Amino acid sequence: MFNELDPLLHSQLRLAIISLLIGLEEAEFVYLKEKTKASAGNLSLQIDKLCLAGYISVKKGFKGKYPVTICKITPKGLKAFEDYVATIKTYIKI
C-alpha cells in the first residue's frame, strides 16, 4: 500500500540539499551552508553521502586563490527526488 521512502532523501538536511539543487543549475558549498544553516562538517558529510549514491556531482576547483566546491544534481538524483515526492503524495492522500 505504501511505498518505502528513499532513506537517503528522508533526512532533513539531505532533502534540503537536493531541493535547493533542483531549482538551480549548480551551487557552491558556501551557498548550501548559508541556506541550510548546517555546520560545515555535517554538510560535507551529507554531500558525500549524496555524491556516493550518485544523486549529486561534486566538482572541486579554485576561485582565485580560494578552493571552491560546486554541487549539481544528477539525472539519477532528479529521478530519486521525483520518486520521493510521488511517494510522499501517496502518504498525504491517505
Partner 1 sequence: MAKNTFSTTNSLRTIEAAIIEAKTSKTGASFYYVLWGLILSIYFIIHFLIIINSNLRGTIIDTFNWVLFPIGGFLSYSNKSKDQKKETNVPQLEKVYLFAFTGFAFMYAILTFASTYLSSSIAIMLFPLIIGSTVYVVGGISKHKISIFCGIFSMLLTVVSVLSKLEIQFLIASIACISSCIIPGITMRKSNV
- Residue among 26, 39, 82, 86 that touches partner 1 (CB under 8 A): 26
Instruction: Give the burial class of 17: count Cβ atoms within 10 A of its Cβ; 0-12 exposed, 13-18 middle, 19 or more buried.
Output: buried
CA distance 43 to 32: 8
Closer CB to partner 1, 1 or 92, in the complex:
92
CA distance 80 to 49: 14
Region 75-94 residues binding partner 1, contact defined as CB under 8 A: 84-85, 88, 91-92
Which residues here bind partner 1, judged by CB under 8 A? 5, 10-12, 15-16, 19-28, 30-31, 34-35, 63-64, 84-85, 88, 91-92
